[in-house]
Structure 1
Amino acid sequence: MRCSDLYDKFSNLVELLRYRALTQPDKIPYTFNEKGEEETDRITYEVLDQRSRAYACQLPSLEATGERALLVIPPGIDFIAAFFGCLYAGVIAVPAYPPPRRSRNLSRLLAYASDAEALFALTTTSLMTELTSRFAQHPALGRLHLLATNKCVHDQRLNWSEPTLDRSSLAFLQYTSGSTGTPKGVMVSHGNLLHKEYSLLILLR
């Protein structure tokens, strides 16, 4: 398929990943290198699609479609699957790196949650207990519905239904670090991401 055909064929990232999972199920789109050196994890298109659908099936039952969800997950395959899980549920992802364990300062997460008007936060089982305790100390974070993504039941993916999305649909909010002031968010649509991927394909060919 030509680059231009690929860009014209899809209106959102969910359609694109579903296509890849059906046509190239065993191809590995993502690997993760611990500290940028040794590969520690990888995932195929098929497994990424399955995990994304399983994660997504948790969210519509909570009336999360169209809402914002913080992704308080370290870099890695779990983050990627949770990010696509949000897209598969029509939920707007808000990437947010987990706060240092010894730090009491949650100002960055507070700013993200407040500005994005987030109602949910996705994290891992290993961080769930700690974040539940720390979030409870701040009303803006304590009101978030906290979910552990890697507790999802794999068979839940069978109940998934594709959300209504197009290129104008918001995919995620990207915030600045806030190191020099209040974090500022940028709205990134499915169309923005498809165009970026198309541009990279053209550049690499």
Structure 2
Amino acid sequence: MQLRRSGNRIGGGPLQHPGGSPTVLESTHGCLLAALRRRAPMMSRTPGAASTPPVLVEALLLRYDAVTGFAYRRLLTALGRSSAPDRAARRLAGLPDDGDHHLVHSTSWRADDEGAIVLTYVVHPDPDPDRPARPLADPHTIARSNRTGHPAPPDLTVDHVASHAVRHLALLESTDPVVAAFLAARPQAQDALSRVSALPAGQLRSAPTCSNPR
């Protein structure tokens, strides 16, 4: 899988899921793409054409606690034809189609070993903070490849993707006035993000080590 930055908005149009209701899978660790493929088979562009890889929307529901630091829940669903990924991410998180009480932002895309495209969104705060979540001990952890001709990190995990999303938010907090205003109303999270090294995708440098998760 290869991690890439993406913009804030992707795609458009009404949300349509194969078979009507969206397939939602939740995990705090592990990969669920195989299960999604069983529920959302590959689609062909034209009759007789080779099947095309599925597009999956991944929502990382981020929370912050002053004692335990960052944590996240992972939700995943297959994207139907003519679907809007933004809207799919909101529905994954249980958010209405309108409303600005949560920050929803696309942070990266990647391809898995079988060619499925995964679009990652971060949602903050977690709309259901009482559910179990996976702690994110160090958002400075970066996955990278050591081979010039093979850019995909061989050891990429969902924790790496979540860490990238947190650093992405840290960058936006200092560069995007809309995101900055949203986080200003949540001073604990804003303070924690201000102490995260905002490394955009592709930029590698020494980052501070978190002796204490924030």
Structure-1-length-normalised TM-score = 0.27
Structure-2-length-normalised TM-score = 0.26
Higher helix share: 1
